[in-house]
Amino acid sequence: MRLVCSILLSVLAALPQWATAAVGKCDYLVATGAQDNPPFLWRDPQDGKRLIGSNADLLKRIGNSLGLTIDVLRSGDAQAAWREVESGRMDILADALVPASVPTMDFIEPAIAVLDTSAWVRRDQPMVYAEPGHLLGHRGLLPRGGDGVIDGHLQLENAASFAQGLQQLLGGKVDYLLYERYGAVARLGALGELDSLQRLAPAVAQRGMHLAIGHDSSCNDAALRVQLERKMRELQASGVTRKLLLDNLKRWQEQQTSQR
């Protein structure tokens, strides 16, 4: 069976775009993801049932090029979105972070983006830093949603949200805050604190964000996975995925400014 599947994938990958576009069981799919994950995904202020952001725009481009309609709908937080795709009620997880083993989903390569979990410090209190080990002995904070594979030796406290963690950092209760790079920029911009913090490099941890299709999705087949992987390679090579990310970072910040 594995040999047959491998042969099918090889044949489909060699077909021209017009041929593969017609292959697959579905021409309509539903995607979802975390509803508060800017600039990748967030609730559409014009339609609370939908998600917008760079990953939603990415799926729209992929769908248009393959002759597919892909709706990106809200299902709740990251855990709720995961459950919807894992159960087969929705087809695609648009912001999947790969754990060690996932027997219920197929992850599309390449990754949409490589996410840097970075240490952020007050700009008026810089820290000598050249590697994650330099954080040892300093008090850190890990807000909900900002974690990656973090060194267990770091002295970390938890915060319920990024905003709460930011206030603790600005108040001098901790020395640094750990959070994903683009998510932190989006939230700092929304809070008017973008100039208050400095990001330390290199990152403390990295992990890929992927598209993932649930095994129980009625649309999941080898043909669809080949099409998605081919389009992801094209969009990465052309720089489209990064442009969508930067465009939506600006879009998010403009929305927040207009709502103040």
Q: Minimal CA–CA distance to 249: which of 76, 50, 52? A: 52
This prediction's pTM: 0.86
| CA separation for the pair 149, 57 (Å, rounded) | 28
Q: Count of CB atoms within 10 A of residue 23's CB?
A: 15
Query: What pLDDT does 130 receive?
Result: 96
162, 38 contact by CB (below 8 A)? no
In terms of pLDDT, which residue wins out, 23 or 152? 152
107, 94 contact by CB (below 8 A)? no
Query: What pLDDT does 22 receive?
Result: 42
Starting at the earlier edge strand, list the strands of the sheet with 36-37.
36-37, 41-44, 47-52
In terms of pLDDT, which residue wins out, 20 or 41? 41
Q: Which two tokens stand for residue 51?
A: 């998600």
Residue 158, H or E segment: strand 155-159
Distances (CA, A) of 112 to 40, 179, 208, 239, 258: 10, 18, 7, 11, 29
pLDDT in tens, 101-160: 678 999 999 999 999 999 999 999 989 999 999 999 999 999 876 655 566 678 889 999
Query: What pLDDT does 2 receive?
Result: 44
Band (1; pLDDT cuts 50, 70, 90): very low
Judge whether residue 17 has pLDDT over 50: no
121, 247 contact by CB (below 8 A)? no
Judge whether residue 71 has pLDDT over 60: yes
**Helix (H, G, I), strand (E, B), or coil: what is residue 85?**
helix
Query: What pLDDT does 101 receive?
Result: 64
Mean pLDDT, residues 195-199: 96
Q: Which two tokens stand for residue 192?
A: 């008017």
